[in-house]
């Protein structure tokens, strides 16, 4: 994936070039040899979205995932997509225009932010691996602050593995396309990190030969602690 100049985090691969942002969905379809569609539907199904859920999608990209989640909602259910990129904002608003209950907020998620609303579910897909670890902690604090007690955090990203143990071809591709921060992301114990932030009740769903994981973690409901 090509990296853009003037990035906030020089080694990040999730701050996309305009070309990659415009073509992001196509790039993902090609990179996964057409498997992305089935994969993302299965991952979102595993979130068990309820019709009245309020969902925050951090680093939401083109709106592809929000539109799939939107099909599960009715009544007061609602999705807010949040992203830093004006190119993604345009694509998101166009793609999700037919859903009255999906909206977009241009917002950096790597800085502390505060919105009055609290969410039942917070989803972050292929974003958090692309930040330095100290910054990931800020993202986790934002997530914790904006979840309702008992709400669920869903992190769809690379799973935990040792790059040196990957088959040669996978390792070659991973090294070619992924940014420096991803190499450290895969070696961390994410259940432990999330436990340190008072998340609990972990469940995981593995995809793509177990190299991709949807990790579910619940925010402790302190009323029942």
Ligand X SMILES: C[S@@+](CC[C@H](N)C(=O)[O-])C[C@H]1O[C@@H](n2cnc3c(N)ncnc32)[C@H](O)[C@@H]1O
Would you give the binding string for ligand X spanning residues 125-164, x where CB under 6 A is met?
xxx-------------------------------------
Question: Looking at 42-50, 108-116, 171-179, 213-221, which segment touches ligand X (CB under 6 A)?
Answer: 108-116
**Helices 36-45 + 24-31 axis angle, to 10:** 100
Smallest separation, CB 128 to ligand X (Å): 9
Does the footprint of ligand X cover residue 84 (CB under 6 A)? yes
Question: Contact region for ligand X (CB under 6 A) — 41-49, 84-92, 93-101, 159-167?
Answer: 84-92
Residue 61 in the binding site for ligand X (CB under 6 A): yes
Shortest CB 223 distance to ligand X, Å = 31
Q: Which stretch binds ligand X (CB under 6 A): 95-103, 106-114, 169-177, 203-211?
A: 106-114
The enclosing H or E element of 103 equals strand 102-106
The answer to whether 1 and 20 are in contact (CB under 8 A) is yes
**Which of 47, 96, 109, 182 touches ligand X by CB under 6 A?**
109
43 scored as a contact of ligand X (CB under 6 A): no
List C-alpha distances in Å: 133 to 9, 72, 112, 160, 176.
11, 33, 15, 15, 21
C-alpha 53/C-alpha 6 separation (Å) is 37
Residue 194 burial class via C-beta count within 10 angstroms: exposed 0-12, middle 13-18, buried 19 and up: buried
Q: H or E element: which one contains 212? A: strand 212-219
């Amino acid at each position: 994936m090509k990296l853009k100049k003037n990035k906030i985090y020089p080694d990040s691969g999730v701050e996309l070039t305009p070309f990659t942002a415009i073509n992001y969905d196509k790039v993902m379809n090609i990179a996964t040899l057409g498997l992305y569609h089935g994969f993302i539907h299965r991952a979102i199904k595993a979130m068990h979205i309820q019709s009245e859920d309020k969902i925050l999608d951090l680093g939401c990209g083109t709106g592809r995932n929000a539109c799939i989640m939107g099909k599960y909602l009715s009544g007061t259910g609602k999705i807010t997509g949040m992203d830093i990129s004006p190119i993604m904002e345009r694509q998101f608003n166009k793609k999700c225009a037919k859903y009255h209950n999906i909206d977009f907020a241009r917002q950096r998620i790597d800085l502390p932010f505060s919105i009055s609303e609290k969410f039942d579910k917070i989803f972050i897909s292929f974003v958090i691996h692309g930040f330095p670890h100290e910054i990931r902690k800020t993202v986790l604090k934002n997530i914790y602050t904006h979840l309702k007690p008992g709400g669920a955090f869903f992190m769809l990203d690379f799973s935990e593995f040792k790059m040196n143990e990957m088959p040669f071809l996978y390792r070659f591709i991973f090294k070619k396309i992924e940014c420096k921060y991803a190499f450290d992301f895969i070696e961390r114990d994410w259940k432990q990190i999330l436990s340190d932030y008072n998340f609990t009740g972990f469940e995981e769903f593995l995809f793509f030969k177990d190299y991709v994981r949807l990790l579910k973690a619940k925010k402790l409901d302190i009323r029942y602690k």
